[in-house]
Amino acid sequence: MIRLIVIYAPSAFIILEAYDIISDNFGFSEWTFKLVFAILILGFVVLVILSWIFDFTPEGLQRTRSLESDPAEKKEVQPSLYDVSYDGSIAVLPFQDMSPEKDQEYFCEGISEEIINALTRVERLKVIARTSAFAFNLFIMF
């Protein structure tokens, strides 16, 4: 639709400019300019409506598909933890000690370990080991 509008607008401008040049030489009256302008506006409206309904494809002119899925088409399903084919994994990174005295490191690691322990109970979810996940803490800086 946008491509057709981008093509139509300059074409209509060129037609109006050409009419302006020709009308002086041939002595056209004022109402003929209004008629040409009205035809171009009507053509624009028709173009927008038709381009909304139809698509120009390499196979030719085809009706635009609706956003609602057809029952014949297979709907793509997002994987979930309950899907048998889901192969997801998660890593829990350690929390940073942001206390003023920086003496709560044991608490931060304890919370991370508890979250890891809780996630290991979820079926079909791979939880990265604590030592592997905590190694990434060296690369993360705030």
Residue 72: CA count within 13 A, CB half-sphere: 0
Would 34 be classed as within a structural domain?
Answer: yes
- Between 4-8, 84-88, 124-128, 137-141, the lowest mean confidence (pLDDT) is in 137-141
Percent pLDDT > 90 in the chain is 8
Residues 48 and 94 in one domain: no
- pLDDT, residue 139, reads 52
CA distances from 62 to 5, 53, 59, 73 (A): 18, 9, 8, 18
Residue 78: per-residue pLDDT:
61
Residue bearing the bigger pLDDT, 134 or 37 = 37
Is 0.85 surpassed by the pTM of this model? no
Query: What is the overall mean pLDDT for the chain?
Result: 79
**Domain-embedded: residue 15:** yes
The H-assigned helical ranges of 54-138 are 105-119, 130-135
Q: Do 59 and 7 share a structural domain? A: yes
